[in-house]
Amino acid sequence: MGAIKITKTMEITNSSDTKKELSLLEHFEQIVELSERSQLSDEFFEKASKHLFFVKNILNISEVAIVFLAILLDNFDCWRFGLSNFASHLDIRLTFLLQHKNALQELEKSGLIKCKRQRGEESYKLPDKTIKAIVEGRNIEQVDFSKFTNQDFMDHVHNLFADKNEDLLTFEDLAEEINRLLSETNHLDFSKRVQKLKYDMYDLNLFFAFLQFVVNEEVETVGDFTLNEFFHNDFEYRTIINTLRKGTNRLLVDNWIEPTNCNGFQGKFVYKMSQKAYKYFLEELGVEEKIENVDNLISSASLVSKTMFYSTEEQQQINQLEALLHPDNLQNVQKRLKENGMRCGFTGLFYGTPGTGKTETVYQIAKNTGRDILAVNVTNIKSKWVGESEQNIKHVFDRYKTLVKKSEIAPILLFNEADAVLGTRMETKHSVDKMENAIQNIILQEMEDLNGIMIATTNLTQNLDNAFERRFLYKIEFKKPELAARKSIWKVMIPSLNNNQVTTLANKYDFSGGQIENIARKYTIENILTGEKPTTETIFKFCDNELLSNKTRRKKLGFV
């Protein structure tokens, strides 16, 4: 076979005069070579016609756009390639080049090139996807918005803001691209909701900036400095910040964002997306508001079965409630209640002295009925910041409603040690009183509308507000265990005790199950530390120390 040679037109021939088709990249190379100092003359277009025709069939762009793309491709490693560089290659004046600037806009709109606009200057570059497509002899893949999911939508938003950050999109371009994205994704409920806002470019870009922070960057609070860094344009920044500080910004007025606390201080110019925004927009995107330490979801599978000891009356009530909460039974009962126009939610109040098994009973009911528990941290619901306590309690019920909808078996909403929120409502003399009453009113209304199971435990009932008492359907009092029950608890907690020891301890100490458990834990710890079982006197000391007052102690007795 003869030697391979490359002719001026890049047609590859050998001794047998066979021809090889030029690749897309090779056609571009010919266009670059022919266009140099051509001044975009008619003669150039005639010489380059077959190469231009080949490229046009693949990329579907105008001939002048093909020339500009070829020049950029030949300088793909140049970071700043401006109009003067095009003019220098073609040997034309900038004024003449401006007549063909629409070709650059055509390339930019098609996604084949990127334009960086900074301080009044424009420079162009090829994205990696364009270079890869040309090398592979194809057009770039066009985005099919009709197949977008919510995740695809936010990924595209992330890319838009990345281009904005690199000055590849102006502020106006960003708004235009966002509006295009919205109009092309009408099949998404989220997109439809945003379009209903009808925001101008400032409010639209700010809204999506918050979405970018929360969804793509997992940043919950945004301050003035962050926004300045984000938009890095004095006019854009001042326009947005002025409306925020005056409180006239549409996002503030419509309650999509709100001032928030930052490092323990109320930040006047620090913002976060509101609960309304989370509920209406962000939950659609699979993002839930993070409120630390307000509630805790406990899986029923993680609960450990325990033997419980009750009085006869307590056992009957608990058995009845547990039977009711069995999934099949509850579903049937709720159906019948709904048919009779009655409320379908079930509420229970477990009250009594500490350590009588109220909380553990909830756990065991949940375990036996296969229900998870959404446990509410009542202490952390209350906040010193105005309005935040009310938001926290609303968040708890909103989250519970979401769990009920998503769960095959409705979980139990547990307000443990709920004395702080169930007390008698006060006259609103102080702001704290108003906050307490607001929390209680929210709980009362949610109990009315409850479509699930709520159980509250409390040590005190004398201060229970009458409105709460009426709304609890099942009320079970947990008393200290009777003698027979105390014996059983001692035996289960410390199996090594003999019958005489069990009888003596049960008679001598009127302990609750929780107190006996404390003794058992001390007994076990002592055994681990010394390697020996605690003596009789040691057990008595544990019991005496468990008593809160010398007045309630009894005279020591020996085992019988």
How far is Cα 542 from Cα 529, in angstroms, rounded to an integer?
15
Q: Where are the alpha helices (DSSP H) in 111-223?
A: 128-135, 150-165, 171-184, 189-195, 201-211
Contact 442, 395 (CB under 8 A): no
Specify the amino acid at residue 201. M
pLDDT at residue number 295? 58
In degrees rounded to 5, what are phi and psi of residue 324?
A: -65, -40
Average pLDDT over residues 59-85: 92
Percentage above 90 pLDDT, the chain: 46
Closest CA to 485 of 383, 347, 357, 358: 357
455 contact partners, CB below 8 Å, separation of at least 6: 347, 348, 349, 350, 362, 412, 413, 414, 415
Q: Cβ atoms within 10 A of the Cβ of 319, count? A: 11
Which stretch of DSSP H or E encloses residue 272?
strand 265-273
Average pLDDT over residues 358-383: 88
Burial class of residue 437 in the structure, from the number of CB atoms within 10 Å of its CB (0-12 exposed, 13-18 middle, 19+ buried): middle
How confident is the model over 221-278, as pLDDT tens digits?
888 777 877 776 668 878 888 899 888 999 999 999 988 754 433 445 788 888 889 8
Q: Does position 559 have pLDDT exceeding 70, yes or no?
A: no
**The 3-state secondary structure of 326-349, one letter per residue:** CHHHHHHHHHHHHHCCCCCCEEEE
Q: Does position 3 have pLDDT exceeding 50, yes or no?
A: no
Q: Does position 436 have pLDDT exceeding 80, yes or no?
A: no
Q: Does position 47 have pLDDT exceeding 50, yes or no?
A: yes
Q: Does position 386 have pLDDT exceeding 70, yes or no?
A: no
Task: Indicate the SS3 state at residue 148.
Answer: coil
Of 24-28, 179-183, 195-199, 418-422, give the lowest mean pLDDT range: 418-422
Structural domains in the chain? 5-135 (1.10.10.10), 145-290 (no CATH), 296-478 (3.40.50.300), 483-552 (1.10.8)
Kindly indicate the confidence band of residue 4, based on its pLDDT and cuts at 50, 70 and 90. Answer: very low
More confident of the two residues 146 and 388: 146
Of 150-159, 239-248, 534-543, 547-556, give the lowest mean pLDDT range: 547-556
pLDDT at residue number 106? 94
pLDDT at residue number 52? 96
How far is Cα 1 from Cα 8, in angstroms, rounded to an integer?
22
Average pLDDT over residues 206-214: 92
pLDDT at residue number 266? 42
How confident is the model over 444-491, as pLDDT tens digits?
899 988 999 999 998 876 777 788 888 898 999 998 888 999 999 999
Long-range contacts (CB closer than 8 Å, 24 or more residues apart) made by 549-557? 554/508, 554/509, 557/504, 557/508
pLDDT at residue number 15? 43
405 contact partners, CB below 8 Å, separation of at least 6: none
DSSP structure class, residue 65 = H
Contact 325, 453 (CB under 8 A): yes
Across 288-308, b (16+ Cβ under 10 Å) vs e yields: ebebeebbeebebeebeeeeb
Average pLDDT over residues 529-540: 89
DSSP structure class, residue 146 = G
How far is Cα 258 from Cα 33, in angstroms, rounded to an integer?
59
Kindly indicate the confidence band of residue 550, based on its pLDDT and cuts at 50, 70 and 90. Answer: very low
How many alpha carbons lie under 13 Å from residue 124 in its C-beta half-sphere?
A: 26
Specify the amino acid at residue 408. E
Mean pLDDT in the chain? 84
pLDDT at residue number 558? 40
Taking CA atoms, 547 is separated from 328, 387, 521, in Å, by: 45, 41, 16
pLDDT at residue number 424? 62
Q: Does position 431 have pLDDT exceeding 70, yes or no?
A: no
Average pLDDT over residues 62-74: 95
- Per-position DSSP letters for 4-38, written without gaps between them: PEE-TT--EE-TT---BPPPHHHHHHHHHHHHTT-
Average pLDDT over residues 203-219: 91
Q: Find where tokens 């306590």 sit.
A: 389
Which stretch of DSSP H or E encloses residue 495?
none
Task: Indicate the SS3 state at residue 480.
Answer: coil
Q: Does position 345 have pLDDT exceeding 70, yes or no?
A: yes
Sign of CA dihedral 365, 371, 372, 378: negative
